[in-house]
Structure formats: C-alpha cells, structure tokens
Amino acid sequence: ALIVAGIAIVYILFIIIGLDIIISQIISLLIVSVTGLLLIFYFFHKEESKMEKGAEASLPKKSITLYTTFPFFAYGFLYFAFLFMDRIIGWSTNNSYMPYIIWFRGAYELGLDFALLMMIVPMGACEVVVSKLMDELEEGQKNSFGTDTHIISKQFQRVYFRRLLLVAAIAVVSGIVTYFLVWQLDLHPPHGFRSGFLSNYVTHFVLIVALVSYAIVCCALMNCVTLFSLSQPEMAGRSVLISLVVNIVVGFLLSRWIDYYFAVFGLLAGSIVFLVTSSRKILQVFKNLDYYLYFQA
C-alpha cells in the first residue's frame, strides 16, 4: 500500500501539478517514509499496550546490541549492493561516449526498473509462507518426542521445498504478468507517457533477463527469510556475499568483452549462485533442525 501510495503521489505531483520529477520523487519518498515510521510506532505501541504491566527487563548494552544486529545490517547492505551492482558496472563501461567515470544509460535502467515490479508479490508470499512454516515447526516440535528429531527434519524438509516450489511458481507468474503489463503500457501509454520503449533492443533484452534473474532472487529470499527466522543471519549474509562477487566478476568481464548491457548477465549468474548457496545453507539447517530450533528459541 505504501509503494502504491508513493507512486500515486509522484503521479499527482509530476503529471497533474507539474512539479519537477526529482522534486516529486523526493516529496513522495519523504511522505512514505514518515508514514511508514508512524505506522511502526503505532503498531509497536498497540502491541505493548497488550503486555503485562510491571517491572521491565533491562536492555542489553549497546555494544552487545550492535554485535548481535550487525549481521542483519551486513546482509541488507550486501543484498542491495547485489541488486544494483550490475547497473554500476554497466554505467561505468567505457565505450563510444563516456564523459564521466559513471554515465547513466536510460535504456538499461528502464528494463531493470520495470522488471523490479515483479518482485512485489513473491516477496510478500515469502513472508507469509515462512511465517506459516515456522508456526508448523513450533507445533510439530511440541507434539513429538525428542527421539523423533530425524523424522521431523525429513518431514519439514519435504514441506519446505514444496513451499519453495510454490514461491517459484508465484514468481514465474508474476514475471509473466509484469511483462504483459509492460507490453500493454508500451502499446497503450497513458497521457504524457512515452511509448515505444520496448522497441529499444537493449531495454527489451535487459527486461527479459532481469525478469528471470529477479524470479530466481525471490526463491533465494525465501531461503534467507527462513534463515533469519532461525536466527542464522550469518548464513544468509555469506550466501549473498558470494553472489555479489559472482555478479561483479561476470558482469564486469562480459560488459567489457562484449557490450555494456551484458552486465545484466552478472545479475543472472549471481542470482543463480544466490539460490544455490542459500539452498545449501537451508539443507545444512534441516540436517540439524532440532539444534537450530533450540538456538532460535
């Protein structure tokens, strides 16, 4: 809802009122950010009001808080670096016209930006699926004997990968729907919107490769959300770090050997590695599920 509201605000300020596009985006980001912050305070206050009144437990020292939360911060930094690294590599490719170290290339950017829209629904599905899975894990743990840990691990491993296939299916459908909507937008643009952008080979090429890449990333994100739920952010961080390195190496080499827009294959290669490495971490967790459930508790 906040994303849709932000887009609507930009549309009103830029198209209807006529403000500069950058000013419109800054105002929209400010409104959405403040609204999100206020909602967070509201929901936290609502939950705190339900809690028992009395003596409050002392909070840990700031050094301990920083130490325990740093892996989450590191993962977030690496994840967004992974998402945007191919753009930086593409923009820094020195070809026919390069007045600065980094030169914005709109055709490449447009394909990636449209492709990003397909992640909205699968990312939400990941949260719901993992939340449900953790509830089932907790319930299964309560209703089983300690000697059944191996059986439970195998059972939930099968359940997990069926859910992962569900998220993959949602991601594929979301990618197809996104491509269809972009295609229709190109054919029937609203007032003030430039048409014919898909006739640009680079934009069309990058859009298709990015849709495939982001669909793979959505599956990898389910693995990472599950690792977070089991208090294993370091595993998720290592997965995305390896993927970032692959993204940089493949994207850099192909963009320099062939053409700048081949940097998108760095994103594709990194996405595949991200899914493979995070899946291996999940399998590692399921082999000792009782330990990680205890660790999470």
Portion of the chain with pLDDT greater than 90, in percent: 41
Q: For the stretch 3-16, what's the b/e string if a residue is b when 16 or more beta carbons lie within 10 angstroms of its beta carbon? A: eeebeebbeebbee
More confident residue, 122 or 94: 122
pLDDT at residue 27 above 80?
A: yes
More confident residue, 10 or 139: 10
- Which pLDDT belongs to residue 188? 74
Average pLDDT on 58-80 reads 87
The CA dihedral of 92, 95, 101, 105, to the nearest 10 degrees, is -60
pLDDT at residue 238 above 70?
A: yes
Distance, in Å, from the CA atom of 266 to the CA atom of 163, rounded to the nearest integer, reads: 27
pLDDT at residue 54 above 70?
A: no
Q: How far is CA 259 from CA 91, 248, 251, in A?
A: 11, 15, 10
- Which pLDDT belongs to residue 55? 61
Query: Of the segments 57-61, 223-227, 247-251, which one has the largest average pLDDT value?
Result: 247-251
Q: What is the mean pLDDT of the chain?
A: 85
- For the beta carbon of residue 206, count every other beta carbon within 10 angstroms: 29
- Which pLDDT belongs to residue 272? 96
Q: For the stretch 78-101, what's the b/e string if a residue is b when 16 or more beta carbons lie within 10 angstroms of its beta carbon? A: bbeebbebbbebbbbbeeeeeeee
pLDDT at residue 146 above 60?
A: no
- Which pLDDT belongs to residue 163? 87
Distance, in Å, from the CA atom of 30 to the CA atom of 9, rounded to the nearest integer, reads: 11
Model pTM score: 0.80
More confident residue, 218 or 105: 218
Find out whether 293 and 141 touch, Cβ atoms under 8 Å: yes
- Which pLDDT belongs to residue 289? 67
pLDDT at residue 164 above 80?
A: yes
pLDDT at residue 108 above 80?
A: yes
